[in-house]
Chains A and B, each alone.
Chain A
Amino acid sequence: MVGVTLVVFLLMHLAPGDPALLIAGQNAPPEVYERIRRSLGLDRPLYEQYLLFLTRVGRGDLGRSLLLGERVADLVGQALAVTLGLALAGLGLSYLIGVPVGIVSAVRSNSLVDQASMVGALVFVSVPPFWLGLILMYVFGLRLGWFPISGHGSLAHDVLPAVTLGLGGAALVARMTRSAMLEVIRQDFVRTARSKGLAERVVIYKHALRNAVIPIISLLGLRLGWTVGGAVTLEMVFSRPGMGRLLVNSILSRDYPVVQGVLLILAFSVMLGNLFADIFYAVADPRIKYR
């Protein structure tokens, strides 16, 4: 985490441009610009600014936005709720769609269904989410009028961005599920289960899936971070006041404390995703235990 803070801090401060100039506007005389710089604390040496930032973070204080004057924790908190909701919906959808498709593809491998769903998966993995978002917006928002085109507020507003996010994720989950299942299905214990005369449904869901689930869960840990990242880019297209908007606006206006706050939280969410994945391992496979 400290490494993340250092990289984030240095990246922002070494990038050209500074917030004082943006606040002052290009017509402001130099003395006004200098005064604004001083009032923002940007005239202090870089290491001093960084140490100040670290001690504050240690106390749970993310600082205040240079431009809005509001607490970064409040800004990030409001935005996080919007983004996290979308990311979780997207992640949920990607597993809801991806796992069944993957299982069916594996069970009926090399059939038409398998080939069709894998081609579909390839398409959705390859398409950039913002483009898919625009297409869905055009078709289901503008042409068919089923869902709101953009904005935030009701459940209906969440459908298109969540589906956009979910489809890309589902494609990956389906491919992962298929290959994991294929590996398991060919193993002896599955054959044994079948030979015992168990119903195909029980063989697949109870014996095979349970054993194929580890890579699928580890993907969940990785996907959580990725999905938050995906939600962030989609927010610009769907005009949602989430972390993406906050991040892009704060980068463009060089509002350092906000950028640092957002990135810290994003890094934290990736770590949290991995932690959850580890916990799920233990639940899914009792052989994995922490000593």
Chain B
Amino acid sequence: MRRNHVGRAVAWCGVAALVVALVLAGCAGGAKQPAPEAEKPARDTIVVALAREGETLDHIRTSWTTDAHYTVLDRLVERDYDLKYTPHLAESWTSSPDGKVWTFKLRKDVKFHDGTPFNAAAVKWFFEALLDPKNASPSASDYAFISRIETPDEYTVAFHLKDPYPNILFKLSTTYAGIISPEAYRKYGPDGSNEYGTKQMVGTGLYRFVEWVPGDHLLVTANPDHQWGPEFVQNKGPAHIKNIKYRIIPDAATRLMEFEAGNVDLLLEVAPQDVERVSKLPNVEVFRKPHFGLGYLAFATDKKPFNNVKVRQAINLAIDREAIVKSVFFGVASPAYGYLPPLLPEYVEDRQAHRYDPEAARKLLAEAGYPNGFKCNLATLNKTEHVRVAEAVQAALAKIGIQTEITQYDNASYAAFLKEGKQELFIREYSWSSADILQWFLYGSQFPYPNHSRWVDKKTDELIDAAEYAPSMEAREQGYKALQEYLISKAVWCPIWFPEKVQAVRTDKVANFRMHPLYTIFNDVTLK
């Protein structure tokens, strides 16, 4: 009995030791085995990790789009690697002398994945569907500048505009302008079987939709008929890679492990804190580009004390942008000194108004009547980086006497909170590649939401109107520059950081990948 006892104890200790040894061996980076067969993607499939998925792929009915919208659908106009507008489904375009009629000549060799011919009627149908109040499209207001669409012949579309609007090229190049097959939408859309966006998605793109298993993956396969690649890619024909599998992996740590193990070939987003680690992995190339976006601290400008320009200016001077970029973003971002992303031609920066000068900030605050500061709420989305920025802002403001209490919200409750107008100070980040974002957020008629800065100002509206409906791109650029100078003088926002877009690719599996500032372009990409 006693011997048996001892024997079992020894056996148990052995098992425990084995487990500990295995764990230690693993942690110490023991010899890495190849991934199991089931997990290995076939050679004809590139695996891309997506952090999240939209609720539907029908972009007429949602404002959420995924990377797959870019590969399955084509647009009339594209933007090349340098962001210049280039022809795609439209071969060429002209605008009338008064800038109110834009005529697009379409390609004649294009057809949708379901065989429906691509023509002027399809384009007209699509944009009318976006504008149709019955569809309640969230993008409708984006295209409200269109008054009517005419089709003089089968391959010509004329957009008649309410006012001159040179920014139409931008609007026709976004993912929201991807043209859907009218036939497919009739059959599978809300008036048909209501499967469009979940079980069906039909465009003219480089890839055809195969299936979407919510929570798991989205699969698309190369369109063999595709011969209409845009000018800026070398391969105008069908894609070299047969399938793209978008795997939905919400957890960042899991995503990174899958990439490191070689089960994911392309990471579309690498978080700032992971960039250094990913850069050190073997067989991995990391791409970094400035992103079209801005992170900023906003004020409820109609509430005391934020209705005082001196208070807003003081807060602008209290924030050490360089320090935040270093500590929160590990240098994977840049300090923001303006309201628009630097890549835009309309960009204006003012380093003087956005310098770090707590002494001057305290003085301004005293001049505004708050020598001892004040207390207020600081709201933020519960996204890690935003919370860290909020903490940095809290510490910075405390130095000039402003005591803040941080409140965190999830996406839905943050939107409701801002809509109800309960905010005082709040952290925001936008991603948008056109200057009209300032119109969205600061135009008077957008109050109270999305104008959550609650900035209703006649001069601002005038400057926006002048810029947005300027007759030419040059005039528009000048108009938006004037607007920004005015906004900065009023310290309407406190810009903090310009985010960076970071992607990583497995070079042992993928070749010829080139990072595009806005989209993922698969035309030239090959598998090794």
Q: Do A and B come from one complex?
A: yes
Interface residues of A (CB under 8 A from B): 15-19, 21-29, 32, 35-36, 39, 67-70, 75, 79, 104, 108, 111-113, 116-117, 120, 134-135, 137-154, 156-157, 200, 236-242, 245-246, 249, 252-255
Known: A17-B412, A104-B12, A140-B26. 12 other contacts (CB 8 A): A16-B409, A16-B416, A18-B412, A19-B412, A23-B61, A25-B138, A69-B194, A142-B261, A143-B26, A143-B29, A150-B258, A239-B250
User: Are A151 and B216 closer than 8 Å at their CB atoms?
Assistant: yes
- Asked if B369 CB lies within 8 Å of chain A CBs, one says no
Q: How far is the CB of B146 from chain A (nearest CB, A)?
A: 15
- The B467-518 residues at the A interface (CB cut-off 8 A) are none
Q: How far is the CB of A200 from chain B (nearest CB, A)?
A: 8
User: Are A27 and B63 closer than 8 Å at their CB atoms?
Assistant: yes
A32 contact from B140, B215, B412, B450, Cβ within 8 A: B140
- Asked if B136 CB lies within 8 Å of chain A CBs, one says yes
- For the complex of A and B, list the 3 residue pairs with the smallest distance between their C-beta atoms, beginning with the closest: A25-B63, A17-B412, A241-B215
B35 contact from A19, A23, A137, A148, Cβ within 8 A: A148
Q: Which residues of A contact B457 (CB under 8 A)?
A: none
Q: Which residues of A contact B450 (CB under 8 A)?
A: 26-27
B440 contact from A24, A27, A148, Cβ within 8 A: A27
Q: Which residues of A contact B140 (CB under 8 A)?
A: 28-29, 32
Q: How far is the CB of A106 from chain B (nearest CB, A)?
A: 13
Known A-B contacts A28-B141, A68-B198, A143-B29; A120 and B63 likewise in contact (beta carbons under 8 Å):
no
User: Are B215 and A249 closer than 8 Å at their CB atoms?
Assistant: yes
Which chain B residue lies CB-closest to A146?
B33
A23 contact from B22, B63, B254, Cβ within 8 A: B63
B263 contact from A15, A27, A149, Cβ within 8 A: A149
In the complex the two chains form, what is the Cα distance from A232 to B23 in whole Å? 26
In the complex the two chains form, what is the Cα distance from A108 to B11 in whole Å? 14
Indicate the member of B35, B55, B62 with the most A CB atoms within 10 Å: B55
Q: How far is the CB of A143 from chain B (nearest CB, A)?
A: 4
Q: Which residues of A contact B9 (CB under 8 A)?
A: 108, 111-113
Q: Which residues of A contact B412 (CB under 8 A)?
A: 15-19, 21-22, 252-254
User: Are A236 and B216 closer than 8 Å at their CB atoms?
Assistant: no
B26 contact from A144, A157, A237, A238, Cβ within 8 A: A144
In the complex the two chains form, what is the Cα distance from A26 to B381 in whole Å? 14
User: Are B26 and A39 closer than 8 Å at their CB atoms?
Assistant: no
User: Are B449 and A17 closer than 8 Å at their CB atoms?
Assistant: no
- Asked if B374 CB lies within 8 Å of chain A CBs, one says no
Known A-B contacts A112-B13, A137-B257, A142-B261; A21 and B416 likewise in contact (beta carbons under 8 Å):
yes
Sample (14) of A-B pairs whose CB atoms are under 8 Å apart:
A15-B413, A17-B410, A19-B412, A21-B415, A24-B136, A27-B450, A108-B5, A112-B9, A138-B27, A139-B22, A143-B25, A143-B29, A149-B263, A152-B216
**CB contacts between A and B, total, < 8 Å:** 194
User: Are A237 and B138 closer than 8 Å at their CB atoms?
Assistant: no
Q: Which residues of A contact B440 (CB under 8 A)?
A: 26-27
- The B1-23 residues at the A interface (CB cut-off 8 A) are 1, 5, 8-9, 12-13, 16, 22-23
Which chain A residue lies CB-closest to B49?
A239
Q: How far is the CB of A230 from chain B (nearest CB, A)?
A: 16
Q: Which residues of B contact A140 (CB under 8 A)?
A: 26
In the complex the two chains form, what is the Cα distance from A140 to B138 in whole Å? 45
Which chain B residue lies CB-closest to A245?
B215
User: Are B30 and A28 closer than 8 Å at their CB atoms?
Assistant: no
Indicate the member of A24, A39, A75 with the most B CB atoms within 10 Å: A24
In the complex the two chains form, what is the Cα distance from A39 to B138 in whole Å? 14
Which chain A residue lies CB-closest to B430?
A26
- Asked if B273 CB lies within 8 Å of chain A CBs, one says no
Q: Which residues of A contact B1 (CB under 8 A)?
A: 200
Q: Which residues of B contact A239 (CB under 8 A)?
A: 215-216, 247-251, 254
Q: How far is the CB of B14 from chain A (nearest CB, A)?
A: 11
Indicate the member of A22, A117, A139, A239 with the most B CB atoms within 10 Å: A239
Indicate the member of A22, A79, A154, A236 with the most B CB atoms within 10 Å: A22
User: Are A24 and B56 closer than 8 Å at their CB atoms?
Assistant: no
In the complex the two chains form, what is the Cα distance from A152 to B248 in whole Å? 11
User: Are B22 and A144 closer than 8 Å at their CB atoms?
Assistant: yes
Q: Which residues of B contact A117 (CB under 8 A)?
A: 12
Q: Which residues of A contact B415 (CB under 8 A)?
A: 17, 21-22, 26
User: Are A143 and B32 closer than 8 Å at their CB atoms?
Assistant: yes
Q: Which residues of A contact B411 (CB under 8 A)?
A: 17, 22, 252
Q: Which residues of B contact A149 (CB under 8 A)?
A: 39, 254, 257-258, 261, 263
A241 contact from B16, B33, B36, B213, Cβ within 8 A: B213
B33 contact from A21, A29, A145, A152, Cβ within 8 A: A145
Known A-B contacts A111-B5, A239-B248; A27 and B36 likewise in contact (beta carbons under 8 Å):
no
In the complex the two chains form, what is the Cα distance from A17 to B416 in whole Å? 5
User: Are B36 and A148 closer than 8 Å at their CB atoms?
Assistant: yes
Q: How far is the CB of B109 from chain A (nearest CB, A)?
A: 35
Q: Which residues of A contact B414 (CB under 8 A)?
A: 17
In the complex the two chains form, what is the Cα distance from A117 to B11 in whole Å? 13
Q: Which residues of B contact A18 (CB under 8 A)?
A: 412, 416
Known A-B contacts A24-B63, A138-B257, A236-B251; A148 and B55 likewise in contact (beta carbons under 8 Å):
no
User: Are B257 and A141 closer than 8 Å at their CB atoms?
Assistant: yes
